[in-house]
Amino acid sequence: MAAATGTRSLLLAAALIVVAVVFWKLGQPAPEPPAAITLRETASTDAPRHRPATPPAEKTVSPTVVDELVREDIEKAVVTYSPDALPTFERFLASNEPDVREAARDGLARLGEKGGGAILRRATSRMTDPEEIKRMQETADWLELPSATDGPMKKR
């Protein structure tokens, strides 16, 4: 009986700690949203008016922000569920970054449009990595498979 009471007390203490941590995390300020791809510094308003303004300097943006924005664009194209989104994927498949091309390939697979197969095959002509080419061709083959709803067992 004493062991059961000790176990209950231990579980109650752990639950209270978890609740306290959750409330503490909820009280933290929200993180800043990611910056845009190209950020420009604004000219100082304190500068004398007789001096010409210098062009704003461009800041570099980390690859993770770019990846996040690319993934957002791909996600927006996927949820259209329309062949009209295919040019978006073609643009990303022309990228020099393998991660961007891989994200575009995954997005095309999720979109499921047969026209994506031809786009993937065209994109492989610019690639040099044999493993990447193989993944692109396999995805193109999969996209071009006939649909089960269009087969001979289709209900009329």
pLDDT in tens, 103-119: 999 999 999 999 999 99
- Ranges 76-85, 132-141, 142-151: which has the least confidence: 142-151
Specify whether the backbone of 100 is left (phi greater than 0), alpha (psi in -120 to 50) or beta.
Answer: alpha
Q: Tens of pLDDT along 3-44?
A: 667 778 777 777 778 777 666 666 666 555 544 444 344 444
The pLDDT of 113-140, averaged and rounded, is: 94
State residue 42's pLDDT score.
Answer: 41
Radius of gyration of the chain (CA): 26
Distance between CA atoms of residues 96 and 104, nearest Å: 12
State residue 45's pLDDT score.
Answer: 46
Q: Exposed, middle or buried by CB within 10 Å (0-12, 13-18, 19+), for 29?
A: exposed
H-helix or E-strand spanning residue 39: strand 39-40
State residue 64's pLDDT score.
Answer: 65
State residue 156's pLDDT score.
Answer: 57
State residue 9's pLDDT score.
Answer: 79
Q: Tens of pLDDT along 65-94?
A: 667 888 899 999 999 989 999 999 999 999
Specify whether the backbone of 81 is left (phi greater than 0), alpha (psi in -120 to 50) or beta.
Answer: left
Distance between CA atoms of residues 106 and 77, nearest Å: 12
Name the residue among 116, 91, 95, 97 with its Cα closest to residue 106: 116
State residue 69's pLDDT score.
Answer: 87
Higher-confidence residue: 47 or 120?
A: 120
Residues forming a β-bridge with 39: 59
Q: How confident is the model at residue 146 (pLDDT cuts 50, 70, 90)?
A: confident
